[in-house]
Amino acid sequence: MNDDAAARLPDPSDLFIVRGGNPLRGTVRLSGAKNSALKLMAASLLSEGRVELRAVPRIADVPVMAEVLRGLGVNVQLDPEAETATLEVDGEPRWHAPADAVTRIRASIACLGPLIGRTGRARMAMPGGDRIGARAIDLHLQGLTAMGASVIQHPGEVEVHAKDLHGAIVTLDFPSVGATENLIMAAARADGTTVIENAAREPEIQDLCRMLIAMGGSIDGIGSPTIEIEGVDRLSGVTWETCPDRIEAGTYAMAAAVTGGDVVIERVRPTELTLPLIKLRAAGVVVEEGADSLRIKAGDLDAADVVTLPYPGFPTDLQPQMMVLLTQAQGTSRCTENVFESRFSFVQELARMGADVEVDGHHAWIRGPSALHGTTLAGLDVRAGAAGTMAGLVASGETIVRDVHHVDRGYAEFVPRLQSLGADVERVPAGARDA
Ligand code: UD1
């Protein structure tokens, strides 16, 4: 393993120790978006020149993605301090992705589309990531097949060949983020025009499209459900700044609100958080929007209903954090999860802290306010880990969050940033705690 990947791998046994009661106060400046940066890195496979990325978040998934790309022949240099990544393919990329790194993150699947677009073939293990649902890749493969690719399934691996990748009209069954991205990147180098109907519209996909255009690509309909991509012969190098992380911003906004705090969040696009901000206001939170900042002031929290949907719907990646907020609200709230079937596994953890939550299928009813008490939270995914930490900030006593390597995958400097806002939270090795 490369040095920078090894150096940045978090110790999986570390714990967060959270002592609740402190309202968050102050200013926090956030990172570039995880779900954009990883795809922008993958897009370097398409480039016949150097790709320089800025605002690359200091999260654990970035060096893992770098490892995947190095295995494919990309020369990757990361500078976590400067938040930059430089990526350059020497000649043609290799087509067989290394299984070890691929299986550790979901975003590794984003190499499939650019590899097909650039080399006409790819073989890779099924990707890893959070265990929050089935997370199939059938929509990715259906789209590539419509563009002339053939797919061979191996145990735990998929192999795709496309000698003459051509444009096609692809109508997705569901606006999948990953499938939309892969099809855009494959289509960027296909012969002719590809139209993706029922495309996902997430801001991170828009970021990817804009970078591809800066590389010489031709894409229309960015941010709409119909994206049209005209294939080009060559995509060149580019310098690009990753868009801000709206999920990270939403997490800090909810943490500020639930602790009764007053926090200014910088490096955020409030227009990309329209529905979460509507829901925070509905729940009694005072939200002041700047051009690239937000001020979140606590109010008396009221019940609110949220329904997760693809963008511009309420993001599934903010659902566990919103649920923590609603445990402190007066009345009964309802959360409906439409994107990932296993996302409610976090409810069990919240219930063990004293929350009153009832789940029926993809609905959860939260009766509040509940007095939460500290406990040990285990087996969480990236968003549930952040939400569990948030719950600890309002719980009585001490909350121990285990498996914090999940949180490291998506949140840069999570503990230091919370500490800078006055939270009583620390990160300790598991052994130090047992001693
Ligand atoms: C991305 C994000 C993740 C976010 C999600 C939805 C990354 C690395 N991850 O995940 O944080 O929660 O978007 O906003 O960017 N599906 C299929 N077949 C497919 C593809 C998807 O059935 O071929 C299903 C999935 O199982 C899931 C739903 O569609 O139930 C949404 O998945 P998708 O939008 O593709 O999410 P990801 O790209 O995996």
Cα–Cα distance measured from residue 429 to residue 55, given in angstroms and rounded to the nearest whole number: 29
* Ligand 1 centroid, distance to 176 Cα (angstroms): 5
Q: pLDDT tier at 128 (50, 70, 90 boundaries)?
A: low
pLDDT at position 64 over 90: yes
Whichever domain contains 422, its CATH number is 3.65.10.10
How many structural domains comprise the chain?
Answer: 2
Same structural domain for residues 157 and 85?
yes
Q: What is the pLDDT of residue 7?
A: 45
**Ligand 1: residue whose CA is nearest its atom 7:** 35
Of 56, 165, 182, the closest CA to residue 109 belongs to 182
* Ligand 1 centroid, distance to 122 Cα (angstroms): 21
Same structural domain for residues 91 and 7?
no
Mean pLDDT of 241-254: 98
**Ligand 1: residue whose CA is nearest its atom 17:** 136
Same structural domain for residues 341 and 253?
yes
**Which residues form ligand 1's pocket by a CB distance below 6 Å?**
35, 38, 106-107, 133-140, 174, 176-179, 200, 316-317, 339-340
Helices 382-394 and 319-327, axial angle in degrees (round to 10): 20
Q: What is the pLDDT of residue 13?
A: 82
Q: What is the pLDDT of residue 431?
A: 75
Could you say which of 212, 241, 270 is where a domain stops?
241
Same structural domain for residues 421 and 291?
yes
* Ligand 1 centroid, distance to 129 Cα (angstroms): 11
Q: What is the 3-state secondary structure (H, E, C) of 144-172?
A: HHHCCCEEEEECCEEEEECCCCECCEEEC
Mean pLDDT of 213-241: 98
Same structural domain for residues 370 and 237?
no
3-state secondary structure of 41: helix
Q: pLDDT tier at 97 (50, 70, 90 boundaries)?
A: confident
* 40, 108, 135, 319: residue to mutate for ligand 1 pocket, most atoms within 8 A of CB: 135
Same structural domain for residues 154 and 226?
yes
In the chain, the percentage of residues whose pLDDT exceeds 70 is 95
Mean pLDDT of 419-430: 95
Mean pLDDT of 272-290: 98
The single residue listed with the structure tokens 């020369």 is 75
- Listed in order, strand segments (DSSP E) in 104-149 are 121-125
Q: pLDDT tier at 9 (50, 70, 90 boundaries)?
A: low
Of 340, 118, 336, 330, the closest CA to residue 217 belongs to 118
**Residue 146, Cβ density class (10 Å: 0-12 exposed, 13-18 middle, ≥19 buried):** middle
Could you say which of 241, 262, 287 is where a domain stops?
241
Of 369, 381, 320, the closest CA to residue 129 belongs to 381
Cα–Cα distance measured from residue 183 to residue 113, given in angstroms and rounded to the nearest whole number: 6
Q: Which atom of ligand 1 is nearest to the CA of 134?
A: 26
**Ligand 1: residue whose CA is nearest its atom 22:** 136
Q: pLDDT tier at 5 (50, 70, 90 boundaries)?
A: very low
Q: pLDDT tier at 380 (50, 70, 90 boundaries)?
A: confident
Q: What is the pLDDT of residue 127?
A: 73
pLDDT at position 428 over 70: yes
Q: What is the pLDDT of residue 148?
A: 97
CB neighbours (10 Å) of residue 188?
28
- Cβ atoms of residues 21 and 424 within 8 Å: yes
* Ligand 1 centroid, distance to 377 Cα (angstroms): 25
Q: What is the pLDDT of residue 154?
A: 87
Same structural domain for residues 182 and 263?
no
pLDDT at position 434 over 70: no
Q: Give the domain range for residue 262.
A: 3-30+244-432
**Ligand 1: residue whose CA is nearest its atom 25:** 135
pLDDT at position 394 over 70: yes
Q: What is the pLDDT of residue 130?
A: 56
Is 11 part of the annotated catalytic residue set? no
From the list 14, 61, 130, 207, the catalytic residue is 130
- Cβ atoms of residues 176 and 196 within 8 Å: no
Same structural domain for residues 221 and 122?
yes
Could you say which of 241, 268, 297 is where a domain stops?
241
Question: pLDDT tens for residues 224-237?
Answer: 999 999 999 999 99
pTM of this structure? 0.96
Q: What is the pLDDT of residue 48?
A: 96
**Ligand 1: residue whose CA is nearest its atom 33:** 176
Q: Which atom of ligand 1 is nearest to the CA of 140?
A: 23
Q: What is the pLDDT of residue 133?
A: 54
* Ligand 1 centroid, distance to 177 Cα (angstroms): 6
**Ligand 1: residue whose CA is nearest its atom 24:** 135
Q: Which atom of ligand 1 is nearest to the CA of 138?
A: 23
In the chain, the percentage of residues whose pLDDT exceeds 90 is 85
* 339, 406, 411: residue to mutate for ligand 1 pocket, most atoms within 8 A of CB: 339
Same structural domain for residues 199 and 332?
no
Same structural domain for residues 216 and 260?
no
* 177, 201, 319, 383: residue to mutate for ligand 1 pocket, most atoms within 8 A of CB: 177
pLDDT at position 3 over 80: no
Residue 85: in which H helix or E strand, if any?
Answer: strand 84-89
Same structural domain for residues 123 and 143?
yes
Same structural domain for residues 202 and 60?
yes
**Ligand 1: residue whose CA is nearest its atom 20:** 137
Q: pLDDT tier at 1 (50, 70, 90 boundaries)?
A: very low
Q: What is the pLDDT of residue 209?
A: 98
Question: pLDDT tens for residues 346-378?
Answer: 999 999 999 999 999 999 999 999 999 999 998
Q: What is the pLDDT of residue 135?
A: 64
* 105, 145, 174, 406: residue to mutate for ligand 1 pocket, most atoms within 8 A of CB: 174
